[in-house]
Amino acid sequence: MADPRAKKLADILVNYSIKAKKGEYIELNFGVDAKELALECYKLLLKKGALPVVNVGVPGFGYAYYKNASDDQLKTFPKIADYESKLSAGTISISAEMNTKEMTKINPKKIAMRRKVVNPIHDREIKKDNWVYCQFPTNALAQDAEMSLEEFEDFVYEACLKDWKKESRKQDKLKKLLDKGKQVRIVGEHTDLNFSIDGRQGIKCDGHRNMPDGEVFIAPVENTTEGFIKYTYPAIYGGREVDGVYLRFHKGKVVEAKADKGEAFLKEMIKTDKGSNKLGEFGIGLNFDIKNFVKQILFDEKIGGTIHLALGMAYPEGGGKNKSALHWDMIKDLRRGGAFYVDGKCIQKNGKWMVDI
């Protein structure tokens, strides 16, 4: 019997996040361990008259691909996936990782090469504005979070099962503040960073793209970032952990990159393409039901009292122009003696609001 919380989450994903309609092709992508939640989504899609297209991820196939694929295979554009993407009206993707370290030993150049090839499909999906991504609780994720599976399930559902319409209304004040803002400054331990947001629009993250959700983000003006930042938590990308990330920027670009662990990988990813050494996103975590770092960016970037900055791609709906196959979020915890300012006014200090938000 399905966990009743899975049924509630499926209802949010199908009826709120993507608003599936009769006659629409909807891609339903999921890891095999997420069958419980995916099946509930599948049933709801069929009841609504939608046409679900099912893609199931099986552990080991991704690793086998990157381990064995030739450069010619990595550079070959996936025409079938492209055709499916063109036909679909929406996408529900449910990750269910069995081994979060599966790609650790894969050559990062292979991953970067493939991301460049499939990026046009990714860009199309983003522009459709009708997709949602979530993670199903698995033993692997629970282990990384240093929790039992039962504890992690409770953590996930508490973060997800909210009145997202109400949360959306709460985010309006912060969005308006960012929309009117011109300059952001972030300060903290080994951190003093500033950039322009003049002319950019804040984007509310209220359950339509991620689950769990809970942030407002905005795209920095591409060539304005100056200063330096040291991130609080390990930056994780493709299963690779980079600890103690320190970045220094000048005229919008990373001019110095250091890390206590994984520095070579960090530098390789920064060289992915012309846009991968610039900031594409400044995000503010607003989900105060997520309190602890669990080594999953979907949750970690939403931690109330933190901010995150993404290297690479900017989402275009807010006016962001930076293009890249890379989008790598890195988190600074302001609850530990940090603050951020907009136009010289302190907005949040030590993880607490200094204005009416």
User: Residue ranges per domain, the chain?
Assistant: 4-160, 164-353
State the Cα–Cα distance between residues 54 and 51, nearest whole angstrom. Answer: 10
> Could you give the 3-state DSSP secondary structure of residue 150?
helix
Task: Give which of 34, 112, 99 is closest to 63, Cα–Cα.
Answer: 99
272, 183 Cβ separation under 8 angstroms: no
State the Cα–Cα distance between residues 241 and 309, nearest whole angstrom. Answer: 16
Which residue type does 116 have? Answer: K
Please state the pTM of the whole predicted model: 0.86
3-state SS, one letter per residue, for 216-240: EEECCCCCCCEEEEECCCCEEECCE
Classify residue 343 as left (phi > 0), alpha (psi -120 to 50) or beta: left
Chain position carrying tokens 């991704």: 62
Task: Give which of 17, 318, 348 is closest to 164, Cα–Cα.
Answer: 17
188, 338 Cβ separation under 8 angstroms: yes
Domain made up of 4-160: CATH architecture: 3-Layer(aba) Sandwich (3.40)
State the Cα–Cα distance between residues 31 and 166, nearest whole angstrom. Answer: 30
In tens digits, the chain (357 residues) has pLDDT values of 679 999 999 999 999 999 999 999 999 999 999 999 999 999 999 999 999 999 999 999 999 999 999 999 999 999 999 999 999 999 999 999 999 888 888 998 898 899 899 999 988 888 888 999 999 999 999 999 999 999 999 999 999 999 999 999 999 999 999 999 999 999 999 999 999 999 999 999 999 999 999 999 999 999 999 999 999 999 999 878 999 999 999 999 999 999 999 999 999 999 999 999 999 999 999 999 999 999 999 999 999 999 999 999 998 888 999 999 899 999 999 998 999 999 999 999 999 999 988
Q: Give me the residues paired with residue 325 across strands.
A: none
225, 195 Cβ separation under 8 angstroms: yes
Q: State which H helix or E strand residue 342 sits in.
A: strand 339-342
156, 137 Cβ separation under 8 angstroms: yes
What DSSP state is assigned to residue 78?
Answer: -
